[in-house]
Structure 1
Amino acid sequence: MNIKFSLLLVCAVFISNVIEAKEIKISSIEELAKYAAESGNTINMAPGVYKLTDYLTLDVINARRNSKEFQYIIFSGSNNVFNLNGVEIELDTEIRTLLNPPIHSDEFLVTGSNNSFLGLTIRCIGEGISPGGTVLKVAGEVNILKDITLHVSGSYPYGYGDLFGKGKQKETTVKHQKHSGLLVTGNKTKLYGCKVFSRSFGHCFFIQQNPKNVYFENCYAEGEVRTTDAVLAETSGPAFDVNFKTWTQNREGAYVVTPGYMKSLCEDGFRTYGKCENITFKNCTAKNTRAGFELRFNDSARLENCTTIGTERGYWIGDNTVLINSKGDANYGPILFVEGSHVNVELTVDTAESDRLVHSLMTVFGDNNKIVLKAADGKKRTQELPILIGYTPPLHGESMSPYNEAEVSGLNLKNEIGMPISIGKMAKSSTIETNGKIIENKGENIEVVKR
């Protein structure tokens, strides 16, 4: 078969698929589930609030539990367009409790490819608990999600963040049951204008199984925050029952909740696990989440024009990451952790401050990193936070925990924000341009240029 004939055949198949595509109007979740399993359709769902319990009745839930069918809807079809603007699915979390699924069972699951989903809102209500899964998982390839909004609740315990552990770790003092927002495992997934509002212990957006070419644009993640003082004021409940024993030690070496800090009640705004090739975040924002963007195990991530607001730590990045034209604050915790090599950072530091304890502006270790810190509107923070060169993040990123030292070399740091700098004994062969003071310099072959 020659190349010209092959191209003609591909074009013919594409045209045939377009001609055969059906435009279908629906007005129920039952119809949505039906067409989710078919291919080549344009589905227009009538706007409105749809109760998932009208579709998953008690009898259906019992039957699904017995047959081990734990997903609510599986979008297994391909080449579909789902126009869901104005559609809200009310997800009673009691369904999860009644189904009693195994851990990490996802609820709405996309396994088909080349689908577009436009405008859906899913809102969790009720007092049910997830044993550890996500509201929406995108596993198929080349799927597009636009203006999808998730309101997530249904974890246990809620109100403490990761003070008492995160999962299966043996140090966990209170067993968690997580409920996360949106998980991506499929190659070439693209998300535009998607939002996750988390009132649950779990991630907002996260990526697993090393997919390639995942793209986020204009996406938003939001959690809630609470002071450790408020936790310590409790006179009953899971924290009180374990005498406020934490899974991570504080700076005095004790495993106990320490007053003075701010905790996010969810996990990370945007999180990657493993090395996901060619992942991009553009114009994305995380507010009041644990980490804004935790990409430390990833390689070659790109972040452009992103923002963190009121996070426990803003950006936690690894090898070959490009973080440019972005900004954040150190209101409740450090703005930046670098634990990798060959990163390129251009970051504007907002002047937002609080009465919460924060022990550093940033930490960095690794080789041949380039970092430029800029002041927002040329203004300097009132509270001085040290830039720690040749230091690791605290254990598990926990603000209450101490820092350790680690090797850093070939660093090119430009400090334009007037913050002080501390250079550890494992730092070497680096250049520091700064308009702030040097607290200490224990490094070797460190060139300091005062501005």
Structure 2
Amino acid sequence: MTIISRLIALFIFLVTTASQASDIHISSLSELAKYAGESGHVITMEPGVYKLTDYLISDSISARRNRKVFQYITFSGSNNVFNLKGVEIELDTKIRTLLNPPIHSDEFLVTGSNNEFVGLTIRCVGNGTSPGGTVLQVAGESNVLKDITLHVAGSYPYGYGDLFGKGKQAETTIKHRKHSGLLVTGNETKLYRCKVYSRSFGHCFFIQQHPKNVYFEDCYAEGEVRTTDAVLAETSGPAFDVNFKTWTQNREGEYVVTPGYMKSLCEDGFRTYGICENITFKNCTAKNTRGGFELRFNSARLEDCTTIGTERAYWIGDNTTIINSKGDANYGPLLFVEGSHVDVELRVDSTESDRLVHSLITVLGADNKVVLKTTNDKKKQHELPILIGYTPPLHGESMSPYSEAETTGLELINETGMPLKIGKQAKDGVIKTNGNIIENNGVNVKVSEL
């Protein structure tokens, strides 16, 4: 079949589907669950707050647990439009505790394809916890989410970020129960103006299982931050009970919480796992998350993106492009390059902070191009070194030391006024800078002033 004939067939399918779609008005979660399993409808829900506990009464929770049905609502139908503007689902996290699902069991699940969801808010309340689950997973193909907002809570412990581990590692000193926001595993998923406000240890938005052509536009991820000094001031609780023993060593080689740093209490704002083809972020923002955009071992395209108050702003792998984006380095580095053939254009908003930060960026890999600009008067900035031929710290933890690694063919333009430190494994680079050179131990690394 030619491209033109395929397009004609798709057009006929869409027109036929639209003509057959039925307009349905609903006013309860039970009705929403019913039509979630059907196809070809336009469903409009009456605005209001709907409590999940009114839909899942205690008897049905017990029955669901016995049947091993751990999702609240599964959208298995296809070719639907769900108009959910003004609809808020109140998710009492105690339900998760009562259901006691296996690890990584998601709560609202989209398995159908070619659906559009508009305007839904899901808000977590209560003191229950999830064993590693996600509020919403989009698993089907070609689904579109617009103006979806998640308020996520329900993890243990909350208040420390990843200081004491991530849950599965042998080095973990406190066993975690994570609760994340929005997971994408389906091809051709598109998200517009979606927001995740995390008050939980878990990711805001993340991508797994190698989906293709995932697109984010005008999306927002937000966590909370807390100083390590505040953690050390505790006189009881989980951190106190393990004598503040961390899972990652600090710069003195000790496994203990170190004063002077800022920690995010959630995980990453936007995160990818594995190779996910053609991932795009446009005009997206991460605030007070651990990583702003942590896209390691992957290729992605970012345009007009922003980070604010993150532990590390952008952490990128092979073949990633960043255009006209920005971030601050108030609580941690602006950029980790951990791959090859990247093309980066970043602006530094600020490096002003009373917290300890040990670098502006680190770069390893081959044939990378990095352009660093500034939006502020460099005379008012703290000086943070640009480390060429260095790795990120272990696990990305700001308290941990850096190591050296091979970097070849780097093209760097530094307009920030920040100093450079070039390691002995840096080779064959071209650097233009208006910052001082702390040291240049590289081989055939040509440095000139801007």
Shift of the alpha carbon at 1:296? 1.0
Write out per-residue CA displacement over residues 344-398 of structure 1, whole angstroms, 9 at most, x where no aligned residue.
0000001251100000001000000000000105545521000000000000000
Given that 2:351 and 2:381 are in contact with CA atoms closer than 8 Å, whether structure 1 keeps it comes out as: no
How do residues 20-31 of structure 1 correspond to structure 2 at under 5 angstroms? 20-31=20-31
**Whole-Å Cα distance in 2 between the matches of residues 16 and 338 of structure 1?**
48
Which residue of structure 2 aligns with residue 65 of structure 1? 65
Which residue of structure 2 aligns with residue 85 of structure 1? 85
Given that 2:220 and 2:286 are in contact with CA atoms closer than 8 Å, whether structure 1 keeps it comes out as: yes
Q: Secondary structure at the match of 1:337?
A: strand
Which residue of structure 2 aligns with residue 303 of structure 1? 302
Q: Structure 1 381/393 Cα, relative in aligned 2: closer, same or farther at 3 Å?
A: farther
Shift of the alpha carbon at 1:7? 7.6
Given that 2:84 and 2:120 are in contact with CA atoms closer than 8 Å, whether structure 1 keeps it comes out as: yes
Write out per-residue CA displacement over residues 230-281 of structure 1, whole angstroms, 9 at most, x where no aligned residue.
0000111110010000000000000000000000000000000001000000
Q: Which moved more, 1:78-87 or 1:12-21?
A: 12-21
**Whole-Å Cα distance in 1 between the matches of residues 336 and 324 of structure 2?**
17
Which residue of structure 1 aligns with residue 280 of structure 2? 280
**Whole-Å Cα distance in 2 between the matches of residues 250 and 69 of structure 1?**
43
**Whole-Å Cα distance in 2 between the matches of residues 93 and 357 of structure 1?**
36
**Whole-Å Cα distance in 1 between the matches of residues 431 and 8 of structure 2?**
59
Which residue of structure 2 aligns with residue 228 of structure 1? 228
Instruction: Give the TM-score of the pair, scaled to structure 1.
Output: 0.98
Which residue of structure 1 aligns with residue 311 of structure 2? 312
Q: Structure 1 336/380 Cα, relative in aligned 2: closer, same or farther at 3 Å?
A: farther
Q: Secondary structure at the match of 2:429?
A: strand
Q: Secondary structure at the match of 1:396?
A: helix
**Whole-Å Cα distance in 1 between the matches of residues 102 and 440 of structure 2?**
52
How do residues 14-163 of structure 1 correspond to structure 2 at under 5 angstroms? 14-163=14-163
Unaligned stretches of 5+ in structure 2?
none
Shift of the alpha carbon at 1:14? 3.8
Which residue of structure 1 aligns with residue 403 of structure 2? 404
How do residues 321-400 of structure 1 correspond to structure 2 at under 5 angstroms? 321-377=320-376, 379-400=378-399
Matched, 1:449 2:448: yes
Q: Structure 1 426/86 Cα, relative in aligned 2: closer, same or farther at 3 Å?
A: same
Shift of the alpha carbon at 1:330? 0.3
**Whole-Å Cα distance in 2 between the matches of residues 229 and 358 of structure 1?**
15
Q: Structure 1 10/115 Cα, relative in aligned 2: closer, same or farther at 3 Å?
A: closer
Q: Structure 2: which amino acid aligns with 1:265?
A: L
| Identity rate, percent | 78
Q: Structure 1 214/381 Cα, relative in aligned 2: closer, same or farther at 3 Å?
A: farther
Matched, 1:420 2:419: yes
Given that 2:107 and 2:136 are in contact with CA atoms closer than 8 Å, whether structure 1 keeps it comes out as: yes
Given that 1:380 and 1:417 are in contact with CA atoms closer than 8 Å, whether structure 2 keeps it comes out as: no
Q: Which moved more, 1:9-18 or 1:240-249?
A: 9-18
Q: Secondary structure at the match of 1:96?
A: helix
Given that 1:328 and 1:349 are in contact with CA atoms closer than 8 Å, whether structure 2 keeps it comes out as: yes
Write out per-residue CA displacement over residues 79-110 of structure 1, whole angstroms, 9 at most, x where no aligned residue.
00000000000000000000000000000000
Q: Structure 1 359/23 Cα, relative in aligned 2: closer, same or farther at 3 Å?
A: same
Q: Secondary structure at the match of 2:54?
A: helix
Q: Structure 1 31/298 Cα, relative in aligned 2: closer, same or farther at 3 Å?
A: same
Q: Structure 1 408/11 Cα, relative in aligned 2: closer, same or farther at 3 Å?
A: closer
Shift of the alpha carbon at 1:19? 1.7
Matched, 1:190 2:207: no
Q: Secondary structure at the match of 2:435?
A: coil
Instruction: Give the TM-score of the pair, scaled to structure 2.
Output: 0.98
